[in-house]
A and B are shown apart, each in its own frame.
Chain A
Amino acid sequence: MQDVHKNRSRVFVVGLSFVFLLFLYRIGTLQLVDDKYEKRAINNALNKITLYPARSVIYDRFGKIIAKNAASYDLFIFPKEEKVDNRLFIQQILQIDSNQYNKLLTEAWINSKKRQKNNAYNRSAIFYSNLNQQQYTALRENLYRLSGFYIEPRTDRAYEIFGGAHAFGYLGEASEQLLKEDPYYQPGDLVGITGIERYYEEFMRGTKGIKTVWQDRTYKQRGEVQDQAFNYPAKSGPDFYATIDIELQKFAEELFNGKRGSVVAIEPSTGEVLAFLNKPDYNPNDLVGQDRARSFRKMLIDPKKPLYNRAVKGVYPPGSTVKTVLALIGLQEGIIHPGSTKGCGGGYRMGNIVVGCHPHGGPLDVVGSIRISCNSYYCGLFREIIDHPKYGSTHNGYRVLERYWRSFGLGDPTGIDLLGESSGNVPTVERLAKRHGKKWRSSMVISLGIGQGEILLTPLQLANVAAILANRGYYIPPHLLKKVNGLKNNGLKEEYRTKKIIPIDAKHFETVIEGMSQVMKPGGTANGIGINGIEICGKTGTAQNPHGKDHSLFIAFAPRNNPKIAIGVIVENGGFGATYAAPIASLMIEKYLMRDTASSKQFMIDRLKSTVLEPQ
Chain B
Amino acid sequence: MKYQYSSSDNNKMDIWGVFFYILLVAIGFINIFSVTSDVNQTSLVLSDIAYKQLFFIGGAIVIILTLSFANVVLIDYLSYYVYAIVILLNIAVLFIGKEVGGAKSWFGFGGFGIQPSEFLKLATSMALAKFLGGYGMRFSGWRNVTYSIGIFLFPVILILLQNDTGSALVYFSFFLVLYREGMPGYIIILAFWMGLLTILSIVFQGLEISSYYLVGTILGVGSIAVYFARKSRQWVVLITFIAVSSAVFSTIVGIVYDKVFQWYQKDRIEIVLGLKEDKQGMGYNLDQSKVAIGAGRFIGRGFQNGTQTKMGFVPEQHTDFIFCTIGEEWGFVGVIVFFSAFLGLLIRLIQLSERQSDAYGRILGYSVCCILFFHWFVNIGMTIGLIPVIGIPLPFVSAGGSSLWGFTLLLFTFLRYDQVRRN
B241 to chain A, nearest CB (A): 27
Inter-chain contact A40/B307, CB cutoff 8 Å: no
A19 to B377, CA, bound (A): 8
Whether B307 contacts A24 by the Cβ 8 Å rule is no
Query: Which of A209-217, A295-303, A364-372 lies at the binding interface?
Result: A209-217
Does A214 lie within 8 Å of B39, measured CB to CB?
A: yes
Check A145 for interface membership: any CB of B closer than 8 A: no
Contacts of B292 in A (CB 8 A): 37, 41
Interface presence of B328 (CB below 8 A)? yes
Interface string of B358-393 (1 = CB under 8 A from A): 010010001001000100010011001010000000
- A185-223 contacts to B, CB under 8 A, are 214-218, 222-223
**Chain B interface residue bracket vs A:** 35 or more
Set A24, A26, A40, A214: member contacting B295, Cβ < 8 A = A40
Q: Report the separation of the CA atoms of residues A28 and B336 in the bound assembly, to the nearest whole angstrom.
A: 10
For the complex, is B297 an interface residue (Cβ under 8 Å from A)? yes
Contact of B298 among A32, A46, A214 (CB under 8 A): A32
> Are B295 and A16 in touch, CB under 8 angstroms?
no
In the bound complex, how far is the Cα of B298 from the Cα of A30, in angstroms?
A: 10
A23→B381 contact, CB < 8 A: yes
In contact, B182 and A222 (Cβ under 8 angstroms):
no
With A and B bound together, what is the CA distance between A9 and B346 in angstroms? 12
Mark contacts of A11-40 with chain B using CB atoms, 8 A cut-off: 1 yes-contact digit, 0 otherwise: 011001101100110111011100111101
C-beta contact mask, B279-320 vs A, less than 8 Å → 1, else 0?
010000000101111111110010000011001110000000
Bound form: Cα–Cα A27–B297 in Å: 10
Residues in B neighbouring A13, C-beta threshold 8 A: 347, 350
With a cutoff of 8 Å between Cβ atoms, the chain A residues found around residue B327 in the complex are 27, 30-31
Contact indicator A41/B308 (Cβ below 8 Å):
yes
Contact: A27 with B180, CB < 8 Å? Answer: no
Tell yes or no: B277 within 8 A of A by CB.
no
Q: Is the CB of A222 within 8 A of B380?
A: no
Q: Do A38 and B384 form a contact, CB below 8 Å, given A5-B180, A44-B307, A222-B311? A: no
B339 is an interface residue with CB less than 8 A from chain A: yes
A45 touches B307 (CB 8 A): yes
| B116 contacts the other chain (CB 8 A) | no
**A38-B294, A222-B311 known; 8 other A-B pairs, CB under 8 Å?**
A20-B342, A23-B339, A28-B332, A31-B298, A31-B332, A217-B311, A218-B312, A226-B40
For B296, the chain A residues whose CB sits under 8 A away are 31
CA distance A24 to B381 in the complex (A): 11
B353 neighbours in A (Cβ, 8 Å)? 9
Pick the residue among B40, B179, B386 that contacts A26 (CB under 8 A). B386
Rounded to whole Å, the gap between the CB of B383 and the closest CB of chain A is 9
Determine the residue in chain A with the shortest Cβ distance to B40. Answer: A223
User: With A1-B359, A27-B335 in contact, is A214–B40 under 8 Å at CB?
Assistant: yes
Judge if B76 is at the interface, Cβ distance under 8 Å.
no
Q: Is A294 an interface residue (CB 8 A)?
A: no
- For residue B136, CB closer than 8 A to chain A, the reply is yes
Q: How far apart sit A19 and B298, CA to CA, in the bound complex (Å)?
A: 21
Would B339 and A41 count as touching, CB distance under 8 A?
A: no
CA distance A488 to B381 in the complex (A): 64
Interface residues of A in 34-82 (CB under 8 A from B): 35-38, 40-42, 44-46, 80
Chain A min CB distance to B93 (Å): 33
Q: Tell whether, in the assembled complex, residue B312 and residue A216 are in contact, meaning their CB atoms are under 8 Å apart.
A: yes
Interface check B331, CB cutoff 8 A: yes
Encode contact with A along B114-140: 1 for CB under 8 Å, 0 otherwise: 000000000000000000000110000
Complex CA distance for A215 and B292, rounded to whole angstroms: 15
Residues on the A chain within 8 Å of B312, using CB: 216-218
Q: Given known contacts A27-B384, A44-B311, is B291 in contact with A35 (CB within 8 Å)?
A: no
Query: What is the number of residues of chain A that contact chain B, defined by CB distance less than 8 Å?
Result: 41
A residues within 8 A CB of B335? 24, 27, 31
Residue of A nearest to B336 (CB): A24
Given the interface contacts A31-B332, A223-B39, does A5 sit within 8 Å of B181 by beta carbon?
yes
List chain A positions with a Cβ less than 8 A from chain B.
1, 3-6, 8-9, 12-13, 16-17, 19-20, 23-24, 26-28, 30-32, 35-38, 40-42, 44-46, 80, 214-218, 222-224, 226
A183 to B241, CA, bound (A): 68
Partner of A12, one of B180, B313, B331: B180
A19: min CB distance to chain B, Å:
7
User: Which residues from A are CB-within-8-Å of B313?
Assistant: 41, 44-45, 216-217
> Taking the complex as formed, is B343 at the interface, i.e. its CB lies under 8 A from any CB of chain A?
yes
- The residue that A41 contacts in the complex, of B307, B343, B359, with Cβ under 8 A, is B307
A9 near B180 with CB under 8 A, answer yes
Taking CB as reference atom, which chain A residue is nearest B366? A12
In contact, A9 and B295 (Cβ under 8 angstroms): no
Contacts of B288 in A (CB 8 A): 44
| Contact of B354 with A by CB under 8 A | yes
| Residue in A23, A32, A80 whose Cβ sees the most chain B Cβ within 10 Å | A23
Question: Which residue of chain A has its CB nearest to the CB of B41?
Answer: A223
Q: Indicate if the CB atoms of A30 and B384 lie closer than 8 Å.
A: yes
A222 pairs with B293, CB closer than 8 A: no
Q: What is the distance, in angstroms, from A434's C-beta to the closest C-beta of chain B? A: 65
Check A20/B339 contact, CB under 8 A, given A9-B180, A44-B313: yes
Contact B354 A32 (CB under 8 A): no
Cβ-defined contact, A31 with B297, below 8 A: yes
- Decide: B336 and A9 in contact? CB cutoff 8 A: no
B182 touches A4 (CB 8 A): yes
Closest to A29 in B: B294
CA distance A153 to B48 in the complex (A): 36
A-B contact pairs, 6 of them (CB 8 A): A5-B180, A6-B354, A16-B347, A35-B297, A37-B293, A216-B313
Contact B294 A30 (CB under 8 A): yes
**Knowing A27-B335, A30-B384, A37-B293 touch, does A45 contact B308 (C-beta < 8 A)?**
yes
- Residues of B within 8 Å of A6, CB to CB, are 354
Do A8 and B180 touch (CB < 8 A)?
A: yes
Contact in complex: B291, A44 (CB < 8 Å): yes
Q: What residues of chain A lie closer than 8 Å to B377, measured between beta carbons?
A: 19
Chain B residues within an 8 Å CB radius of A32:
297-298, 332
A1:B307 contact, CB within 8 angstroms:
no
What distance in Å separates the Cβ of A391 from its nearest Cβ neighbour in chain B? 79
What is the bound-complex CA distance between A24 and B335, given in angstroms?
A: 8
Which residues of B sit under 8 angstroms from A23, Cβ to Cβ? 339, 380-381, 384, 386
Distance in Å: Cβ of B298 to nearest Cβ of chain A: 6
Compute how far the CA of A42 lies from the CA of B311 in the bound complex, rounded to whole angstroms: 11
How far is it, in angstroms, between the C-alpha of A17 and the C-alpha of B176 when the chains are bound? Answer: 15
Which residues on A sit within 8 Å (CB–CB) of B180?
5, 8-9, 12
Q: In whole angstroms, how far apart are the Cα atoms of A216 and B377 in the complex?
A: 29
Q: Which residues of B have CB within 8 Å of A44?
A: 288, 291, 307-308, 311, 313
Contacts of B280 in A (CB 8 A): 80
CB-CB under 8 A from A217, the residues of chain B are 311-313
Q: A222 contacts which chain B residues (CB < 8 A)? A: 39-40, 311
Q: Please tell me which one of the listed residues A16, A214, A218, A226 contacts residue B343 in the complex, with CB atoms under 8 A apart.
A: A16
Query: Which of chain A's residues have a CB closer than 8 A to the CB of B373?
Result: 16, 19
A218 vs B312: C-alpha distance when bound (angstroms): 8
Is A37 touching B350 in the complex (CB atoms < 8 A)? no
A40 engages B291 (CB within 8 Å): yes
Q: Which residues on the B side are within 8 Å of A26 (C-beta)?
A: 384, 386
In angstroms, Cα B344 to Cα A17, docked, is 10
C-alpha spacing A42/B306, complex, angstroms = 10
Q: Which 10 A-B pairs have the closest CB atoms?
A: A37-B294, A45-B307, A41-B295, A216-B311, A30-B294, A222-B39, A217-B312, A38-B295, A223-B40, A41-B308
Cα–Cα distance between A27 and B336 once the two chains are bound (Å) = 10
Q: Could you say which residues of chain A place their CB within 8 Å of the CB of B40?
A: 214, 222-224, 226
Q: Mark B169-200, 1 if CB is under 8 A from A, else 0.
A: 00000001001111000000000000000000
- How close is B401's CB to chain A, nearest CB, in angstroms? 26
> In whole angstroms, what is the CA distance A16 to B384 when docked?
18
Cα–Cα, bound, A3→B180 (Å): 10
Q: Residues of B contacting A226 with CB < 8 Å?
A: 40
A80: chain B residues at CB < 8 Å are 280
Identify A214's interface contact among B179, B293, B307, CB under 8 A.
B307
Residues of chain A with a CB closer than 8 A to B339's CB: 20, 23-24
